[in-house]
Amino acid sequence: MAQSLLDKVQTLISANLHGLVDAALEKNSIKVMDEYIRQAERNLDSLEDSAATVGGTVRTLKRKHEEYAAAAEKLDRDIDALLIRGKNELAAAAQADLNTKQQLAQEYYEQWQQQEEQYRRMMDMKLKLEAKLTTIKQEREQVIALLELAEAKRITTKTIKSLDDLAGQGDEDVARVVDAIRSRLDREDAKLAMATGRLSEQIEEAVGFSEVEQQLEERRRRLNLGGGESGGQ
C-alpha cells in the first residue's frame, strides 16, 4: 500500500482531541470536528481495503514458504538415500535442487514475515482510528449541547477559545459538561498510549519467537532430526 495512506492515518490517530474541541468552541462551530470525521471515515475505508490485500498476500507467502520448505526437507532425505545407494550423480542434481528450494523457502519466509508485521501494524492502526472516530462522534454531540448552553446563558459574549475558558465562566452546568468532555478525552489519550505499548511488545515477541524457531530448525537439520516444524510457524 502507499506509504502516504499510512502517514495520513497516523496523523489522524495522533490528532489532539482536546485541540479539536477547543477549535470548535473558538469558532462557535463544529465544522472542524465534522471535517475530522469525514477524513477519518474516508481513510478508514482505504485502510480496510489495503489491509485485506496485505492479509491475502501474507497467506500466499506463508503457503509458498511452507511448500518449498516441505519440498526441501523431502529432498534432504532423498539425497541421503541416494548417497547410501551410491547414486552420486543423482545426489548431486538433487543437492542443486535442494539449494534452490532452500533459498526460495528463505526468501518467501522473509517476505512473509515483513508483510505479516505490516499487516499487524495496519490492523492496529485501524482499531485505534476506529476508537478515535467513535470518541470524536460522541464528543461532537456534547460540543453541540455545550455551544447551545453557552449561547442560552449568553456566555458567548466573551471570546471562548478552549475548555479552560468555558470552565472559568463560573456556571455550574457548563463546568459539569466541560469536565465530562475533558475526562472522556483524557481516557481516550490513555487508551491510545496503552495500545501503542502493547503493539511494540507483540511485534518484539513475534520477531524473537521466529528467530528462535529458525535456530532450532537449523539445529534439527545438523542433527539429522526429521519432523521439525519450519522456522516461520
Per-chain mean pLDDT for the chain: 78
Question: Cα separation of 146 and 142, whole Å?
Answer: 6
Question: Cα separation of 67 and 155, whole Å?
Answer: 70
Q: What is the pLDDT of residue 198?
A: 59
Q: What is the pLDDT of residue 23?
A: 85
Residue 58 near residue 116 (C-beta atoms within 8 A): yes
Give the residue from 108, 111, 12, 6 showing the smallest Cα distance to 67.
108
- pTM of the predicted structure, to 2 decimals: 0.62
- Return the CA Rg of the chain: 28
- Tens digit of pLDDT for each residue in 55-73? 999 999 999 999 999 999 9
- Tens digit of pLDDT for each residue in 111-159? 999 999 999 999 999 999 998 898 888 888 888 877 776 665 555 445 5
Question: Cα separation of 44 and 41, whole Å?
Answer: 5
- Tens digit of pLDDT for each residue in 33-49? 999 999 999 999 999 99
- DSSP letters, the chain, are --HHHHHHHHHHHH--HHHHHHHHHHHTSSHHHHHHHHHHHHHHHHHHHHHHHHHHHHHHHHHHHHHHHHHHHHHHHHHHHHHHTT-HHHHHHHHHHHHHHHHHHHHHHHHHHHHHHHHHHHHHHHHHHHHHHHHHHHHHHHHHHHHHHHHHTTGGGS---SHHHHHTT--HHHHHHHHHHHHHHHHHHHHHHHHHHHHHHHHHHHHHHHHHHHHHHHHHHHTT--SPPPTT-
Extents of the domains making up the chain:
3-222
| Dihedral pair phi/psi, residue 135, rounded to 5° | -65, -45
